[in-house]
């Protein structure tokens, strides 16, 4: 399957059309950004590592009954996916306080939560992805009630599946961000599931194995992503 026209270039990926109107190719780049694009850099081989990590995770999730846009990984940097009409909402799931939640609530990173938190953010680069709630989603028509319930149920199920999957591999799934879209009337999990959009901590040392190493200049970013790939392939 060939890449045809470039449809969209994002911060970490490029989307191309193919000769099949229902399928697109996601091309994974090495570029990394943080803080709404204010910090930019390259993580060597990130595109290859993230494509492999995400493909493995999407396959695993499909096997557990989660509907995703994943179709195939034909090359190291390309993923064939179903064409989605993107729902402009980022769904964040949190098991442990970290990042913006720690800041907002004034609690130390690593503070356990009494229950899983789901948050919604409006996908808008110019606005810096503001946090919204279900009322905003309905009032602005960002998603229908049925789509919203399906996204929520899917996000919680993904959390249960991946928390166990990572823990078996010595990694704590602290929090993560998902994106969804519709394809032929079905809500599918889209985008990617990689250390760019998940917080992953070593179970024993609590060492960070995700994009916080880039955001916070902790070093050994490529090595951490490589280690995550090794673990998810086990």
Q: Which is nearer to ligand UDP, 39 or 74 (CB)?
A: 39
Q: Does 199 bind ligand UDP (CB under 6 A)?
A: yes
Q: Which is nearer to ligand UDP, 41 or 144 (CB)?
A: 41
The rounded distance, in Å, linking the Cα atoms of 29 and 192 is 13
How big is the site for ligand UDP, counted in residues (CB under 6 A)? 13
The neighbouring-strand residues paired with 104 are none
Q: What is the residue whose two structure tokens read 């803080």?
A: 35
Q: Does 213 bind ligand UDP (CB under 6 A)?
A: no
Q: Does 192 bind ligand UDP (CB under 6 A)?
A: no
Q: By beta-carbon distance, which residue lies closest to ligand UDP?
A: 99
Report long-range pairs for 183-186 (Cβ below 8 Å, ≥24 apart). 183/22, 183/69, 183/82, 183/83, 183/84, 183/85, 186/67
Instruction: For residue 1, give both structure tokens.
Output: 């399957």
Q: Which is nearer to ligand UDP, 78 or 175 (CB)?
A: 175
Site string for ligand UDP, 63-102 (x = CB under 6 A): -----------------------------x-----xxxx-
Q: Is 99 exposed, middle or buried (0-12, 13-18, 19+ CB in 10 A)?
A: middle
The rounded distance, in Å, linking the Cα atoms of 99 and 83 is 32
Closest CB 186 distance from ligand UDP, rounded Å:
23
Q: Does 175 bind ligand UDP (CB under 6 A)?
A: yes
Closest CB 101 distance from ligand UDP, rounded Å:
6
Q: What is the residue whose two structure tokens read 């060492």?
A: 207
Q: Which is nearer to ligand UDP, 27 or 176 (CB)?
A: 176
The rounded distance, in Å, linking the Cα atoms of 87 and 109 is 30
The enclosing H or E element of 70 equals strand 70-75
Q: Does 158 bind ligand UDP (CB under 6 A)?
A: no
User: Is-contact 157 66, C-beta < 8 A?
Assistant: yes
Q: Which is nearer to ligand UDP, 27 or 201 (CB)?
A: 201
Q: Does 193 bind ligand UDP (CB under 6 A)?
A: no
Q: How many residues are present in the chain? A: 234
Site string for ligand UDP, 123-152 (x = CB under 6 A): ------x-----------------------
- Which SS3 state, helix, strand or coil, does residue 224 take? helix
Among positions 197, 209, 214, 227, the unique one binding ligand UDP when judged by CB under 6 A: 197
Q: Which is nearer to ligand UDP, 186 or 206 (CB)?
A: 206
User: Is-contact 91 179, C-beta < 8 A?
Assistant: yes
Residues lying near ligand UDP in the complex (CB under 6 A) are found at 92, 98-101, 129, 175-177, 197-199, 211
């Amino acid at each position: 399957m060939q890449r045809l026209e470039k449809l969209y270039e994002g911060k970490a990926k490029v989307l191309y059309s193919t000769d099949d109107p229902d399928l697109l190719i996601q091309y994974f780049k090495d570029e990394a950004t943080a803080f709404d694009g204010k910090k930019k850099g390259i993580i060597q081989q990130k595109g290859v590592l993230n494509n492999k990590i995400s493909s493995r995770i999407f396959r695993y999730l499909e096997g557990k009954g989660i509907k995703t846009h994943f179709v195939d990984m034909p090359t190291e940097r390309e993923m064939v996916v179903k064409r989605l009409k993107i729902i402009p909402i980022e769904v964040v799931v949190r098991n442990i306080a970290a990042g913006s939640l720690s800041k907002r609530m004034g609690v130390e990173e690593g503070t356990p939560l009494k229950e899983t938190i789901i948050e919604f953010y409006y996908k808008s680069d110019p606005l810096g992805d503001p946090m919204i709630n279900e009322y905003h989603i309905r009032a602005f028509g960002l998603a229908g009630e049925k789509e919203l319930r399906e996204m929520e149920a899917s996000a919680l199920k993904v959390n249960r599946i991946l928390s166990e999957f990572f823990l078996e591999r010595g990694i704590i799934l602290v929090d993560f961000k998902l994106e969804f879209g519709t394809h032929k009337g079905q809500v599918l999990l889209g985008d990617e599931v990689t250390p760019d959009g998940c917080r992953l901590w070593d179970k024993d040392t609590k060492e960070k194995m995700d994009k916080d190493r880039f955001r916070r200049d902790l070093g050994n970013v490529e090595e951490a992503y490589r280690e995550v790939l090794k673990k998810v392939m086990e």
